[in-house]
Amino acid sequence: MALSRLSVTVGQKGSGGGHAKYILAFDQYAKKIQELEARDWGNLPEWAKDDPVKFFEMADKFERANGTVYRDHLISLPRELDAEQRYKLVEDWIKQELGDKHAYAFAIHNIKAKDGKEQPHLHLMFSERIDDGLNRSDPQQYFKRYNAKNPERGGCKKDTTAKTAEQRKNE
């Protein structure tokens, strides 16, 4: 029997770096490595290219007070698929939902469920900020408030524009 769960949460300022370490099983969470099936990241700016924890730590530091640092999707994955198939499914989901515009990190965890079988699930955390192709060479500028008149002077725009119910339904 297939299990399903989809949960979307918002990460407030101060929680990004720690959450990234947790899902990716870095630092004090390295003991979780036995339940880590896969991890990866992408679309990070040059100053954090190979370090998703640094990206989310800088978001914690430079995002505005009471700002959203990340969105988190927790999604059950099919037991019926093997690890390689699950990874491919996650890659396809990220391409569809985030494309190349949002910095992200993900991990596939696979723990034992109460019934003794696998319980694979995805943790996907991503920034609401949209990469517009402008070079923002330092984290402070990247997370600065967006400047519509002079985008090169401000930070990356956030993808939180108010949408109508019909627009959300279509998406």
Dist. CA 104–CA 124, nearest whole Å = 7
22, 87, 142, 146: which one is catalytic? 22
Contact 156, 131 (CB under 8 A): yes
Which residues, 6 or more positions from 104, have their beta carbon under 8 angstroms from its beta carbon?
A: 41, 42, 43, 52, 94, 98, 124, 125, 126, 127
CB within 8 A of 162, min separation 6: which ones? none
β-bridge partners, 109: 36, 121
CA distance linking residue 8 with residue 23, whole number of Å:
15
Which residue is listed with tokens 């515009």?
101
Tokens of 51: 């370090």
Instruction: Please say if 22 is a catalytic residue.
Output: yes
Residues annotated as part of the active site: 22
